[in-house]
Structure 1
Amino acid sequence: MSQRLADDLPRPSGANGIRVWLKSSGYARRLLLGEAGDPWESAANYLAFFNQAHGLLKPDVAELDVGELYRSWVVRHPELKAEMGAKKRTAFPLKRMLEEDDPRRLLAEVVEAVVASLRGQTPLVLTMPAPRQWLAEASQLAGRGDVEVDDDTVEDGAMYMADLLRAVSGHPIGGLLLDEGSDGGETVDIEAYRPLINVARHYRWGLALRTRPGRASAEFDTIISAPGEAPPGDFAMGCDISVPLWANDALPVLESGQYYFAEIPVAAQPEAVLQHLARMRG
């Protein structure tokens, strides 16, 4: 394994790479810290939590969930929540949340600590809600209801997210995952993600998109979705088997250029998790 996600992706051309990518932070928090546990109170706390979780699950990709950091921060700083709802503009809650200096510093400290702990043996991927999803979530965190988000507003959100990423650009991050959810939600023009695509390319980070089946773009190094027809070319495909895995259904056989992706349910039992990980690793 290397520090760069793009170097570790399997390719249809025959290059081997990662086999198991896990989204596991919610499960790991409950298991290691309890229902109310929060690893984001300091960089030292997060590193201790991360090392325990990573040692327990041994994923091929180390994820750091930036969305979780900000959920934790808003809960612990209600004054920021009030400020996020101060203006009516759809993108304002996300803008106000992401421009706060202290969580940026915490993110940079956590990234520095985790990169040092990994010692180049596993790529570190920052995962964020995709811009439409994070705009909606920030609105809810600010105490608003559902909001209508068009492509122009999505691009605004992408710009605020790209600015945040520049705060950690000095560290050897392996990649960035934008998570639209397993169903992808409403279709967003990929061009609305251009600020994030440009940042990832500038810093030579691998770029991944979790989305609905059938949505693909050459702008990304890998697409993660429920198993379906693979895009043409020498393209890495993540097979999101979260549903069949936990239903004990048969898993699709990995073809050349594919790997498994699975989200571990928060309430999953450790014995079942170990059993399913063994199934994935074959």
Structure 2
Amino acid sequence: MSHITSALRAPAASGRPRPFLIDHDSYATAVIRQGRPVPWTDLAELTGHFHQVHSLLDPDATWVDAGALLRAYLSVRPELTQAMAERGRPGYALRTLLDDEGATEAVVRTLTTLTTATGRPVIVSVPSPARWLAQTHAIAGTPRPEIDEDRADSASLYVAQWLGRLGALPGAMILLDARGDDVDIVEKPEAYTAVVNVCDHLEWIVAMRDDDGVAVVGDHPSIGVVDPAFWRGAGALPETPVLLAQIPATAAPEQVLDRLATLT
């Protein structure tokens, strides 16, 4: 059993009856950072930030938004953004970003450092292939193509190659974020066979998060999404082996701690 698979089975590392995964970026920005952005490009400061998050919330995995990390990286590498815009053909911006050695090294260094610092397996959240295709055209300022299933599948090949270059992370779940109305197609994680095959080889779990929940590929524990009302003291928890919660930026810190205490 891989490290990440073991971590997603009860009892959780935190001592909770079920593993509790937390998408904390919005809340941590508001409460811990006092509105300042997550310091993705300063690894020492970022590590300190994650220490604070884990000390406060004790999540059962280290949540890293690699899409946000790469956007921050582009803010200090304007020449890479310019390179992404050199050609307007579909997928060129995404491929240029994911082929960049400096960007990939920054992601690997960040993931390795954070998982070592927290002692928990990592959940790498990235935009789904179709949405990453749309977003990188927007970042580059090139015309957005019509995004259909074929173009999404082509984008997934670039994502798969990039994932393979991340190397031997101690344990990971790759969470493809397909929320929102960026594109018109309905994405299914199992359709991206290149991504699934790479992750199978590396013993990583693949899942997709959309507006309806989380779909996990393969024989792994299912993940239920916690209703935001939970943080206000309402709403029942899903009856799933693993829980995923996004803490709203507006949640009251005292109530967040009280609600977390109910999970033990």
Cα 1:244–1:146 change in 2 (3 A) is farther
Given that 1:66 and 1:128 are in contact with CA atoms closer than 8 Å, whether structure 2 keeps it comes out as yes
Looking at structure 2, the residues matched to 50 and 214 of structure 1 have their Cα atoms a distance apart, in angstroms, of: 25
Count of residues paired in the alignment: 258
Cα deviation, residue 201, structure 1: 0.2
Given that 2:228 and 2:248 are in contact with CA atoms closer than 8 Å, whether structure 1 keeps it comes out as no
Between the aligned residues of both structures, percent identity stands at: 26
Could you say which residue in structure 1 is the equivalent of 2:33?
Answer: 33
Cα 1:266–1:93 change in 2 (3 A) is farther
Given that 2:94 and 2:132 are in contact with CA atoms closer than 8 Å, whether structure 1 keeps it comes out as yes
Which of 223, 230, 238 pairs up with 1:238?
223
Q: Does 1:133 align with 2:118?
A: no
Cα 1:19–1:42 change in 2 (3 A) is same
Could you say which residue in structure 1 is the equivalent of 2:45?
Answer: 45
Cα 1:190–1:209 change in 2 (3 A) is closer
Cα 1:221–1:69 change in 2 (3 A) is farther
Instruction: Kindly report which structure 2 residues correspond to 1:219-234, keeping only aligned pairs within 5 A, or say none.
Output: 219-221=217-219
Looking at structure 2, the residues matched to 77 and 8 of structure 1 have their Cα atoms a distance apart, in angstroms, of: 36
Instruction: Kindly report which structure 2 residues correspond to 1:115-264, keeping only aligned pairs within 5 A, or say none.
Output: 115-119=115-119, 122-144=120-142, 147-181=145-179, 186-190=185-189, 192-213=191-212, 216=215, 219-221=217-219, 236-246=221-231, 248-252=233-237, 254-255=238-239, 257-264=240-247
Given that 1:158 and 1:192 are in contact with CA atoms closer than 8 Å, whether structure 2 keeps it comes out as no
Cα deviation, residue 136, structure 1: 1.5
- Post-superposition CA distance 1:185-223 (Å, at most 9, x none): 731254541111011100111222213448857x3455x
Cα deviation, residue 246, structure 1: 4.5
- Post-superposition CA distance 1:215-270 (Å, at most 9, x none): 857x3455xxxxxxxxxxxxx22221243324643214x43x43321112234332
Looking at structure 1, the residues matched to 116 and 65 of structure 2 have their Cα atoms a distance apart, in angstroms, of: 17
Could you say which residue in structure 2 is the equivalent of 1:229?
Answer: none
Cα 1:124–1:221 change in 2 (3 A) is farther
Cα 1:146–1:275 change in 2 (3 A) is farther
Looking at structure 2, the residues matched to 130 and 150 of structure 1 have their Cα atoms a distance apart, in angstroms, of: 13
TM-score scaled by structure 2?
Answer: 0.84
TM-score scaled by structure 1?
Answer: 0.79
Cα deviation, residue 57, structure 1: 0.8
Looking at structure 1, the residues matched to 148 and 170 of structure 2 have their Cα atoms a distance apart, in angstroms, of: 33
Instruction: Kindly report which structure 2 residues correspond to 1:3-82, keeping only aligned pairs within 5 A, or say none.
Output: 4-10=3-9, 18-82=18-82
Cα deviation, residue 144, structure 1: 4.3
Given that 2:62 and 2:115 are in contact with CA atoms closer than 8 Å, whether structure 1 keeps it comes out as no
Q: CA RMSD in A?
A: 2.9
Given that 1:18 and 1:259 are in contact with CA atoms closer than 8 Å, whether structure 2 keeps it comes out as yes
